[in-house]
Amino acid sequence: MIFRLLYPFLRWCPGALGIVLRQKLYHRLLGNCGRNILIGRFVDLHNPQNIRIGDQAIINDHAVLRAPAKPLANPAIILDRHAFVGSGTTLTARGGTIHLHPGSNLGSGCTLWAASGIDIGPNTLLAAYCTLEDGGSDSGDGRSPSSSGQLIVDGGCWLGVRARVTGPIRIGKESVIGAHSLVNGDIPPYAIAYGNPATVGGHRRPR
Amino acid sequence: MSKVQNRLSTREGAFAKYKRTVIGEGATGLLILYECINMVITPLPTALGTLLRRICYPLLLRKMGRQSRFEANCTLRNPRKIVIGNNVHIAAKASLDVKPDATGIHLADGVKIGQRTILNCAKGSITIGPGSHIGHFCRIGAFARTSIGKQCRIGDQVCIIGGGHSFEDTAVPIIDQPIVTRGDVTIGDYVTIGEGATIIDGVTIGDHAEIGAHSFVNKDVAANSVVAGVPATVQQEEEQP
């Protein structure tokens, strides 16, 4: 309740004061917000009771994190330790969970839209303007259609600028997705894929 | 973790880190001035805010020309390395960010920068020539020299990339591998870039060229040519008048 009263001011507050206030007060007032977080200005947290932000996460200016309003057993948006959300990036969890594992880095202007769930592995790098949609139907009441699953990006991947990923697919670990690609099928680990639709054009050979 | 996450994550020296990020190697007095202006003047809307910013921002910037205006809530980092010419218009919530190791940002006379556009100078410099207009939500990066000529028209959501991650080493996560650049990005005069296009590092675009919307430009573009597509290919060549 105190958070709701202070939130408009904290969201707006500029400068070092704003950074320090958001770091201390979001941790204190929100039960699931970690320590030493860095949150920029104009960051919208919709229904923060369903958002968990880990220690030392960084959320840049103008980011939007939208979780459903109804009570949930698990958080709808999880940012693990050292997760980085770029400027203007939008994370919308209509159903399922958007889970950013430790060290994941989302560039500016990205859009993640989950109806069943999106899982971004550790140390994954999404360049600017990437779009990820898991393709589940937006039933509005949180139930996932049985046929759809999560969109999973395994650890260590690099998605180039404006890459689009749709559907309940899996991008294997340590893959590179070229800029402006459209990925709508599974990508094996250590692959280099690009195009519309994306096809594997090469491999990063593991030792 | 990427270098930015590493640099920002440890508590030790938080003040020093913050100071270096926002004003570079300036003195603490400059930081205090920066914070005062940022708290009171930067968020002020309407013409009053514009007027006060016209009076106060020259105290922070290296140079700010006549009749130039910043709308509310713009972000300036390391403003001593930013030069703004005359009649420059920077729309609301734009970000001019010069990292500590970079050379700076130079906006010539008559430049317009759209809302929420980010000029991110990681290393090297960003130079925008006279009369060029940059759209909204763009992202212009520099790891070497990124220069845009005069009277260019750059659409919304355009991304100019300064450098990328190397990924040869499969033992180290890509995010931890060094950022490398293919070289300067040089955009000539009177160039039109459609919205949603991406220009990667090392590309030179000649004068009067046109880049189609949502294109991905990874090769040099000759003067007077029209390119589009992913990757961008020549659509037609206009004859010189």
One-letter amino acid of B105: I
| Contact residues on chain B for A109, CB-CB shorter than 8 A | 137, 139, 157
What is the pLDDT averaged over residues A1-11?
Answer: 91
Position of tokens 């990820």? Answer: A132
Chain A positions touching B76 (Cβ under 8 A) are none
SS3 B29: helix
Mean pLDDT value of segment A56-66: 97
**A158: closest chain B residue by CA:** B174
Q: What is the pLDDT of residue B14?
A: 86
Q: Which of B175, B199, B214, B218 has the most A C-beta neighbours within 10 Å, making it the best mutation to test the interface with A?
A: B175
> Which amino acid belongs to residue B122?
A
A63 near A40, Cβ under 8 Å? yes
What's the pTM?
A: 0.91
Instruction: Tell me the per-residue pLDDT of B49-81, one tens digit each, with 9 for 90 and over.
Output: 999 999 999 999 999 999 999 999 999 999 999
pLDDT, mean over chain A: 91
Beta bridge partners of B147: B127, B186
Total residue length of chain A = 207
Can you give chain A as a three-state secondary structure string?
Answer: CHHHHHHHHHHHCCHHHHHHHHHHHHHHHCCCECCCCEECCCCEEECHHHEEECCCCEECCCCEEECCCCCCCCCCEEECCCCEECCCCEEEECCCEEEECCCCEECCCCEEEECCEEEECCCCEECCCCEEECCCCCCCCCCCCCCCCCEEECCCCEECCCCEEECCCEECCCCEECCCCEECCCECCCEEEECCCCEEEEECCCC
Helix (H) or strand (E) holding A91: strand A90-93
Q: Is A90 on the interface with B (CB under 8 A)?
A: no
% of chain B with per-residue pLDDT over 70 = 93
Using only C-alpha atoms, chain B has a radius of gyration, in whole angstroms, of 19
Please report the pLDDT score of residue A193 as a whole number: 96
pLDDT(A145) > 50 = no
pLDDT at A144: 43
Nearest to B174 among A19, A125, A207 (CB): A125
B116: which chain A residues are within 8 Å (Cβ-Cβ)?
62, 88
pLDDT at B11: 52
Of A58, A84, A162, the CB nearest to B198: A162
Q: List Cβ neighbours of A20 (8 Å cut-off, separation of 6 or more).
A: none
pLDDT tens for residues B105-128?
999 999 999 999 999 999 999 999
Q: Is residue B23's pLDDT more than 80?
A: yes
